[in-house]
Amino acid sequence: MKQLQSKVAFITGASRGVGKGLARAFAAEGATVIIASRSVEAGTATAQAINRDYPQGRAAFLATDVSDRLQLEEVLERVVEEYGCIDVLVNNATPSDGEPTRLENTDFGRIEQLTRVNYYAALWAMQKVFPGMKAKGSGRIINLCSLNGVNAHRFSVGYNSSKEALRALTRTAAAEWGRYGVTCNAICPAAVTEPWETYVAMAPEAAQSILDMNPMRRLGDSEDDIGPLAVFLASDAARYITGNTIHADGGGHINGVPWLYELPE
């Protein structure tokens, strides 16, 4: 029996990067996976590849801009109508990293945009799926957070603060919804994705020192290193585990991340 047999998982931002890895890992364990992101080309390609590689699960793409509350809620309703329920919600979508900026120079619009996707969209989705999970007496919510926020890395105030708001929401949901069998945990990953490759190109020496300080000397693979943790948290085996932040980062959080370059005043 697969760990996520007959579970329905809704994963935002699963067309690429970490979310795509989680979607593939979930499908390998028998889940039906709904990929909710904006690019039709990328989302369709990811769903098709999953259906080809993991016939034991299945994947569908639903074009969704999670920053549009109405649209997000309509998509969640459609999923329940079509698949009967949502057993697992993964809030993973995040806007592309903008240029690093000093806190005092950061445009408020940028902070709003990050907050809308990283925090409000997760909140809206959680509020929407909760009644169904409560009625069923079980549910799994997994929120993707970041060491950036935990350790307050410099020059990314909007990202850091929206991700830390999401971690506070994670613990609040765990505290309020545990009695209904609904768990809520945060994963802080470190994985090779497009934003990491951009960072390597922008600051190669800083990127190398991140790898040098990582106990495992590498960043993870979204499917094979981050996926198994998410599968476990989504599974029945994790029914008594809630309110946690788990770092899936090869131990990178232990030594922290060096931030070598400076920005002008």
Ligand X SMILES: NC(=O)c1ccc[n+]([C@@H]2O[C@H](COP(=O)([O-])OP(=O)(O)OC[C@H]3O[C@@H](n4cnc5c(N)ncnc54)[C@H](OP(=O)(O)O)[C@@H]3O)[C@@H](O)[C@H]2O)c1
Helix axes 157-177, 121-136, angle to 10 degrees: 20
Q: Which one among 98, 178, 181, 195 touches ligand X, defined by CB under 6 A?
A: 195
Question: Out of 19, 100, 139, 252, which residue is the one contacting ligand X (CB under 6 A)?
Answer: 19
- Residue (3 or 146) nearer to ligand X, CB: 146
Distances in whole angstroms, Cα of residue 13 to Cα of each of 204, 205, 249 = 27, 29, 20
Question: Catalytic: 159?
Answer: yes
User: Closest residue (Cβ) to ligand X?
Assistant: 17
Q: DSSP per residue over 150-193, as a string?
A: HTT-TT-HHHHHHHHHHHHHHHHHHHHHGGGTEEEEEEEE-B--
Query: Binding residue for ligand X (CB under 6 A) from 37, 161, 170, 183?
Result: 37
Q: Which of 119, 159, 180, 240 is catalytic?
A: 159
Distances (CA, A) of 250 to 17, 218, 263: 17, 7, 29
Q: Which position among 3, 4, 8, 12 is part of the footprint of ligand X (CB under 6 A)?
A: 12
Helix axes 204-213, 194-202, angle to 10 degrees: 120
Using CB under 6 A as the binding rule, the residues of this chain from 62 to 121 that contact ligand X are 64-67, 92-96, 117
CA distance 102 to 259: 13
Judged by CB under 6 A, the number of residues near ligand X is 31
For ligand X, which residue of 4, 141, 182, 190 counts as binding (CB under 6 A)? 190
Contact at 8 Å (CB) between 72 and 125? yes
Binding of ligand X by 214 (CB under 6 A)? no
User: Is residue 18 part of the contact set for ligand X (CB under 6 A)?
Assistant: yes
Instruction: Write out the residues near ligand X by the rule CB under 6 A.
Output: 12-13, 15-19, 37-39, 42, 64-67, 92-96, 117, 144, 146, 188-191, 193-196
